[in-house]
Structure 1
Amino acid sequence: MGPGREPAAGGRAGVGAQTGDGSGAVLPEQPGEGPRVVALGGGHGLYASLTALRRVTCELTAVVTVADDGGSSGRLRRELGVVPPGDLRMALAALCGDDEWGRTWSEVVQHRFRSEGELHGHAVGNLLIVALWEKLGGTVAGLDWLGRLLGAHGRVLPMSSVPLDIAAEVELDGEVSTVRGQVACALTPGRVQAISLVPENPPACPEAVQAVLDAEWVVFGPGSWFTSVLPHLKVPELAEALHTTRARRLVTLNLAPQAGETDDFSPQQHLEVLWQHAPDLAIDVVLADTGVVDDPDGLEKTAVGLGGRLVLADVAVPDGSPRHDPRRLASVLNEIFHEKR
């Protein structure tokens, strides 16, 4: 909750209570209820994951990719030398509650200025984050303060303490070239084969490493596979924590290929690419939407090959668009966490 704010009358639904929306999702009543969960990713995919996860646990930490070099984030990064704030802002917005305070602040931090001048395209939340960083002198402290203001249902941390670039090996017409920058990687023609980070072996955010080590569940995806999900495995200290943590690991697969990154990728190919970047990383659960899996037997075989099992469920919005429904996803994740599915 925001500083000095009291709970709304009636509070939140208690553990085991239904949300009333027919989803079956559980809303924890007090901090400490629900498993300790770390969600990895960035952008819209992580937003979808966090919007669901905040409905099933109060012990939630987002560890966010910091390689964005486009839009408002890219401008602030180039001008001020800061970690790009955009994906961090989106994660904080996703953790806002469904009450009036949460909805209002979520809209405010996501608001972009429209003008003919220098402010055009800047997101309010990006400016707030950078202002807090300059005022407090610490990346994590600034994010924690903004989280308190928003009443965020969880904590947001960068995966690295320095801004990063993504370098991708891209194959086109039989030739492989290297493309640098998140925007370029996402838009370049051809198929991305592998990614690396610049600088190589960047320092991890210590709080993010500790969160992974303390977690009971670590959730990969959904999201842009090469530019939001896999970069976490290229930060050495974070990658080591992801391999050695006693947490169980869950992969939430995308509902559609990412244009420019994973064109024509099957669900199995997403898992195969994950294995190629981290062959020793065991996966406990692979979650996929029933409606987008053409070969469930093949996907299950791939999941078992990674050490896990496949869960198929209806987690997409009913209108057929490639978006996860937060309440449906929350309900299924809750069942997985409590070993009911």
Structure 2
Amino acid sequence: MTEPLRPFRKLPNVVALGGGHGLAASLSALRRLTDRLTAVVTVADDGGSSGRLRDEFDCLPPGDLRMALAALCGDNHDGRAWADVLQYRFGGEGDLSGHSMGNLLIAGLWQQLGDPVAGLAMVGELLGIRGRVLPMSLSPLTIEADVVGLDPQRPDELATLVGQATVAKTRGGVQQVRLVPGRPTACLDAVGAVREADHVVLGPGSWFTSVIPHLLVPELAEAIIESSAQRILVLNIAPADETAGFSPARHLEALADHAPRLRLDVVLADEQFADSDPHLSAYATSLGARLVVADVAMRDGSPRHDPLRLASAFADVIGL
């Protein structure tokens, strides 16, 4: 007698929003759970290679998009090889010094195709990525921040910092961030992906320059707020740079300050960071979320998520 066939279980449809190394960490974990994965990436970077290409060609900054593509590369030899090529950075002191190969490839495809989404899809095909990568907006954006504590003689004086690279490295206390232009148009593909998702993941990453900006794009923020998906917020392993000295609950407070209508379902925190703040569970509850504490940190002591441990935590939260 043959055994009955098990019912087919559809893989979850997951959208992860963020930028830089934080988003790459989420993608490296989530790709182990599903192929139905969309990365929505911030487009406000103005430093390094991305800033130079943005200034020269008036294009989206490609760096964070490149990192997301590399994180989703195919598991075969060709996929990994092309991911290494994408991440290669030129040395020396010439005009190409500091540029990554992937940034140049992406910017060149955008010049040729005139379509950022199509250009990213073409690179995705080259890498055999699991999922897709989209910008949060089709226009490059600028981050402005109101900061206190820059002048030791006037610690309460409010100053304005301009540019993602500047804000991300500030040692002042960031009070609020905004995007310029103030109500940017969202990438419609990204909005559609959020509306169709089963799970939406925010963070980890630079809080004011990679995570919160998604909530400052009106159409995208509305899609996140109205979504029937499970909304999962992943906290960083430890505060750093623009959130130096922040408790875990203060991270949630900053998010709520910028998106008062946002409600969460899960706040996922590393056990050591969570244990440092007795108020975290109560604050998570105030946002509608349950707190999930897990051991998700790298073992080398660096403030990074371990992809395998994070994948295990995501699997528990998603219900796989």
Q: TM-score range by the shorter chain?
A: over 0.9
Q: Distance in 1 between matches of 2:243 and 2:32?
A: 30
Identify the match of residue 147 of structure 2 among 170, 183, 186. Answer: 170
Structure 2, unpaired ranges of 5+: 1-5, 150-154
Q: Distance in 1 between matches of 2:277 and 2:53?
A: 44
The answer to whether 1:209 aligns with 2:191 is yes
Look up the match of 1:246: 228
**Alignment-mate amino acid for residue 245 of structure 1:** S
Contact 2:247 2:277 in 1 (8 A): no
The answer to whether 1:269 aligns with 2:250 is yes
**Alignment-mate amino acid for residue 101 of structure 1:** D
Look up the match of 1:326: 307
Q: Distance in 1 between matches of 2:117 and 2:59?
A: 13
Look up the match of 2:102: 125
CA distances 1:305-336 after superposition (whole Å, capped 9, x unpaired): 10010001111112222111101111110111
Q: Distance in 2 between matches of 1:139 and 1:321?
A: 34
CA distances 1:45-95 after superposition (whole Å, capped 9, x unpaired): 001010001111111000000000011000000000001000000000011
Q: Distance in 2 between matches of 1:188 and 1:307?
A: 31
Look up the match of 2:122: 145
Identify the match of residue 264 of structure 2 among 262, 279, 283. Answer: 283
**Alignment-mate amino acid for residue 328 of structure 1:** R
Greater Cα offset, 79-88 or 318-327: 318-327
**Alignment-mate amino acid for residue 61 of structure 1:** T
Correspondences of 1:287-302 after superposition (within 5 Å): 287-295=268-276, 297-302=278-283
- Normalising to structure 2: TM-score of the pair? 0.94
**Alignment-mate amino acid for residue 111 of structure 2:** E
Are the structure 2 counterparts of residues 306 and 88 from structure 1 closer, same or farther at C-alpha, using a change threshold of 3 Å?
same
**Alignment-mate amino acid for residue 89 of structure 2:** R
SS at match of 1:293: helix
The answer to whether 1:36 aligns with 2:17 is no
Look up the match of 2:152: none
The answer to whether 1:87 aligns with 2:61 is no
Contact 1:83 1:161 in 2 (8 A): yes
Contact 1:113 1:120 in 2 (8 A): yes
Look up the match of 1:233: 215
Structure 1, unpaired ranges of 5+: 1-15, 17-29
Contact 1:33 1:57 in 2 (8 A): no
CA apart distance, 1:131: 1.3
The answer to whether 1:189 aligns with 2:166 is no
Q: Distance in 1 between matches of 2:277 and 2:243?
A: 19
Q: Distance in 1 between matches of 2:277 and 2:314?
A: 19
Q: Distance in 2 between matches of 1:123 and 1:58?
A: 27
Correspondences of 1:57-136 after superposition (within 5 Å): 57-136=34-113
- Normalising to structure 1: TM-score of the pair? 0.88
CA apart distance, 1:258: 2.1
Q: Distance in 1 between matches of 2:269 and 2:261?
A: 22
CA apart distance, 1:189: 3.2
CA apart distance, 1:107: 1.1
SS at match of 1:280: coil
Contact 1:223 1:229 in 2 (8 A): yes
Q: Distance in 2 between matches of 1:256 and 1:297?
A: 15
In the TM superposition, structure 1's runs of 4+ consecutive aligned residues that sit over 3 Å from their partners are none
Look up the match of 1:13: none
Number of matched pairs? 309
Look up the match of 2:237: 255
CA distances 1:207-261 after superposition (whole Å, capped 9, x unpaired): 00000100111100000000000001111111111111111100000001121x1
Computed over aligned residues only, the root mean square deviation of the Cα atoms, in angstroms, reads 1.5
Look up the match of 2:131: 154
Correspondences of 1:16-27 after superposition (within 5 Å): none
Look up the match of 1:307: 288
Q: Distance in 2 between matches of 1:60 and 1:266?
A: 30
